[in-house]
Amino acid sequence: MGLVVDGDWDVDDVLVKIGHPWGDFEKPLVKWMASGPGPRHGIHPELARSRSTGEVLPLTVIPPAYRNDRESRALIAAGKIVSPWRDLPWLVDDWGERSCEIGGPRDFDRSVPDPERVDRLAARVLGVVPPSGPVEAETAARVLAQVPEFAAAAPIMVRRPAAEGRWAEFDAVIRLAGAAGLADVGSVLCELLESDVVMPRPGNVVDVLGELRLDAAADLLDSQVAQFVYAYGDAATARRCLRAMAVMGTNSRVRLTLLHWSEGWPVPVPEWAGEEVEATGERIPPPGGETYRRDATDGRD
C-alpha cells in the first residue's frame, strides 16, 4: 500500500486532472507530485478521482504543498511551506528565472561595498529628512541639492539598512527615494519582497513602488496580494498592493482587472481591485470588454 492522504485515500490510487492552456490532461497523482508544474507554474490539479472506483474525490486528498493553487503558491513564496519542487532541474535559459511560487523565497544579497562610506552618506541625507511621516517633494529636492550623491547612491543606501535590519533608517530612505522619483531603488525593493528578509512594515515598500510608478513590478505585487491574504492574513497590506498597482501603469491595471474577475479569492479582494482601478478614472469592463477612461462627456457622476 502506498502513502495514505487525507486520512482515507492511497496516493497511488488517485488520478488528477490538470488544467492547462493547451488542453486539460489526466495523470496519476504520484507523477504530478514528482514532476510539478514545470515552467507553467500556474497549472494545477482541478479534479481528483479514484483510479479503482472512478469516484470523484475532494482536492484535499492532495497534500497542500502539491496543490499548486493560489493559496499553496502563496504559502510557498512566503516560506510558510517548503516547495516540493525547488530542487528539480530548471532550464533558466529556456524558462527564465524560477518563480518564488515554485522555489520559495530567494536569499537577499546583503553585500554592500564600502559600508562605512554608505553610512556616512546616509547620515548626511537623513539629517534633512523628517524622522517620520510622509516626505514631500520639496524635502526630496532639498536633499538632492545638499547631497547630490544621493541620486546615484540611493539603491545601495536602501540595501545597507535592509541588510543590517535597521528598519527606521530603511523606511526613511525609501520614503525619500519615492518622493524624489529615484526609480533605481525599485529593483532592490522588489528583491526584498521576494526574499527571505522579514520586514516589519512591508506595506511601506509597496507604497513606494506605487509612488515610483514601477509598472514592471505588476506581477510581483499580484503575487504579494496572495501572500498577504493567505500567508500573513494581512488584508490591509493586500489592499495597499492593489492601490499601488492601480497607479503604476497599464500592465498593472490589466492585472487588477483580471484579479477583479477571478474566482476563488476571499470576497473583499476582487471588489477592492475594482474599486482601486475605478478610483483612477478607469472602468472595469465585463470579461472580454474594453476599458475606457471617464471624461467630461461620460455623463456619469
Cβ contact 129:139 at 8 Å: yes
21-55 pLDDT, tens per residue?
788 899 999 999 999 998 888 899 999 999 999 99
Sign, CA torsion 134/140/142/147: positive
Tell me the C-alpha to C-alpha distance, in Å, between residue 289 and each of 77, 262, 269, 271, 284. 32, 15, 21, 18, 9
Give the model's pLDDT for residue 294.
34
What pTM, to 2 d.p., does this model score?
0.87
Gap between the Cα atoms of 301 and 281, Å rounded: 11
**List of the chain residues with pLDDT < 70:** 1-8, 130-131, 286-301
Give the model's pLDDT for residue 13.
94
270-281 pLDDT, tens per residue?
999 999 999 988
Find where cell 465585463 sits: 286
Pick the closest to residue 210 from 219, 200, 221 (CA basis).
221
112-140 pLDDT, tens per residue?
999 999 999 999 999 887 667 778 889 99
- CA 107 from centroid of its chain's CA atoms: 16
